[in-house]
């Protein structure tokens, strides 16, 4: 297998390196050793599925470190779970010199990262993402947080991991629908920042966990996000900047919120959101109907939804969009495509058009 070089993310305070495959394995072992030097302490946060299925990995890599095990799934991503992690850290004597190792997908990464950000006002953590979506998106960039019933990721903090270790073997046991959900974020990366990636995905055989090109695609996706994060680390740009990474997400988060985070995987909701963003971009004269069809065709190649499974309330979807944390001064802030491979942010108040777009994917009045 071709060597995949590490990716350095240049940040203002905490430098972060993303390691891949065999390099990641060696770097992780070294990070565990260093975390325990000088009688310091460390602990692991993971979920029940991984604790059961990856028992050998935890035993071999983490040398008997205390393990905080949480239930799997989006319903775990709450303030109560953050409190549970914090109390676990207290019980095992962790202090400001201690380290958390976070093993899991987006849910565990987001909530345990927030626990690390807030425990004793911040301790370092490392992330070992175990899903494709976490490898290419949620593990990078330092956005940590949890959901409220009113919306997704409404409570959180910027807290970058010290390093990210991408071990492709975790993907070999990932269910197909979760792998495909991660592909939604890779398709998004190509749409907003790299036409060549989008075109490569169109031309390649369907990617899978053991595909020879997968690790290169993962690194390319990580590099796209890293470049944007470096330029706008805390999403403070007046336009474009890091907000571009939310292409399709204002729509997708609304779907997740209205369905109680139980019907769609995050990447599945984002896929529908990408179609809505594409159709909005077409209505604005930015891309053509043929280009919208290309986006839909690529999503469908990975069995991703392009419309709602069942009707959802238009009123509830629009209300969820109005609570989105990216909004400014009472206006929606949406991401559109200027072309395939280039995105931009706009303020939006044309609710009749939004209603028509939602109706096209199955929402009802």
**Which two tokens mark 221?**
């996706």
Alpha-carbon gap, residue 128 to 45, rounded angstroms: 10
The C-alpha torsion from 121 through 123 and 125 to 131, rounded to 10°, is -20
Q: Specify whether 242 is catalytic.
A: yes
Q: Is 355 a catalytic residue?
A: no
Closest CA to 229 of 18, 6, 20: 18
Q: What's the token pair of residue 309? A: 């499974």
Q: How far is residue 238's CA from residue 241's CA, in Å, rounded to a whole number? A: 8
Residue 33 annotated among the catalytic residues of the structure: no
* Known catalytic membership, residue 225: yes
Residue of 3, 13, 39, 121 with catalytic role: 121
Structure token digits, residue 154: 């409404």
State the catalytic residue, choosing from 266, 279, 286, 333: 266
Q: For this structure, is 301 an active site residue?
A: no
- Comparing C-alpha atoms, which of 171, 99, 83 is closest to residue 129? 171
Catalytic site includes residue 253: yes
Reference 106, options 78, 131, 70; nearest CA is 131
Annotated catalytic residue, options 74, 178, 235, 256? 235
Contact 123, 129 (CB under 8 A): no
Q: Is 279 a catalytic residue?
A: no
Query: 200 Cβ partners below 8 Å, 6+ apart?
Result: 190, 217
Question: Which of the following is catalytic: 152, 188, 225, 279?
Answer: 225
Helix axes 289-301 and 266-283, enclosed angle (nearest 10): 170
Separation CA 112–CA 95 (nearest Å) = 16
147, 180, 246, 344: the catalytic one is: 246
Q: Which two three-digit tokens encode residue 11? A: 């940040």
**Catalytic residue check, 143:** yes
74, 178, 185, 233: the active-site residue: 185
Q: Which of 143, 152, 160, 286 is catalytic?
A: 143
Q: Which of 242, 279, 286, 333 is catalytic?
A: 242
List the structure tokens of 102.
């976070």
Please say whether the beta carbons of 140 and 9 come within 8 A.
yes
DSSP β-ladder status, 99-104 and 42-47: parallel
Distances (CA, A) of 198 to 127, 184, 238, 340, 362: 27, 11, 27, 8, 27
Catalytic residue at 3? Answer: no
**Which residues are known to be catalytic?**
121, 143, 185, 225, 235, 242, 246, 249, 253, 266
């Amino acid at each position: 297998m071709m060597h995949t070089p590490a990716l350095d993310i240049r940040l203002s305070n905490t430098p972060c390196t993303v390691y891949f495959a065999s390099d990641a394995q060696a770097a992780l072992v070294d990070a565990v050793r260093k975390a325990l030097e000088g009688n310091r302490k460390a602990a692991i946060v993971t979920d029940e599925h991984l604790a059961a299925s990856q028992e050998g990995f935890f035993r071999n890599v983490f040398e008997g470190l205390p393990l905080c095990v949480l239930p799997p799934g989006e319903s775990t991503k709450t303030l109560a779970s953050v409190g549970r992690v914090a109390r676990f850290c207290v019980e095992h004597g962790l202090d400001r010199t201690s380290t958390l190792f976070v093993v899991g997908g987006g849910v565990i990464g987001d909530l345990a990262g927030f626990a690390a950000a807030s425990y004793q006002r911040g301790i370092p953590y490392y992330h070992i993402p175990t899903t494709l979506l976490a490898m290419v998106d949620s593990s990078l960039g330092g956005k940590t947080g949890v959901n409220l019933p009113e919306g997704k990721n409404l409570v959180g903090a910027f807290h970058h991991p010290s390093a990210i270790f991408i071990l492709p073997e975790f993907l070999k046991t990932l269910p197909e629908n979760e792998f495909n959900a991660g592909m939604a974020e890779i398709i998004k990366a190509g749409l907003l920042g790299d036409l060549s990636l989008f075109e490569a995905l169109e031309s390649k055989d369907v990617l899978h966990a053991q595909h020879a090109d997968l690790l290169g695609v993962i690194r390319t996706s990580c590099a796209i996000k890293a470049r944007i994060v470096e330029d706008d680390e805390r999403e403070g740009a007046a336009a474009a900047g890091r907000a571009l990474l939310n292409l399709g997400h204002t729509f997708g988060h609304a779907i997740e919120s209205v369905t109680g985070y139980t019907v769609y995987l995050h990447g599945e909701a984002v896929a529908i959101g990408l179609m809505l963003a594409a159709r909005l971009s077409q209505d604005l004269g930015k891309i053509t109907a043929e280009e919208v069809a290309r986006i839909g065709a690529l999503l469908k190649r990975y069995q991703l939804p392009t419309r709602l499974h069942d009707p959802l309330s238009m009123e509830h979807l629009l209300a969820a969009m109005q609570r989105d944390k990216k909004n400014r001064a009472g206006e929606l802030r949406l991401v559109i495509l200027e072309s395939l491979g280039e995105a931009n942010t706009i303020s939006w108040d044309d609710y009749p058009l939004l209603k028509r777009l939602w109706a096209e994917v199955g929402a009802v009045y």
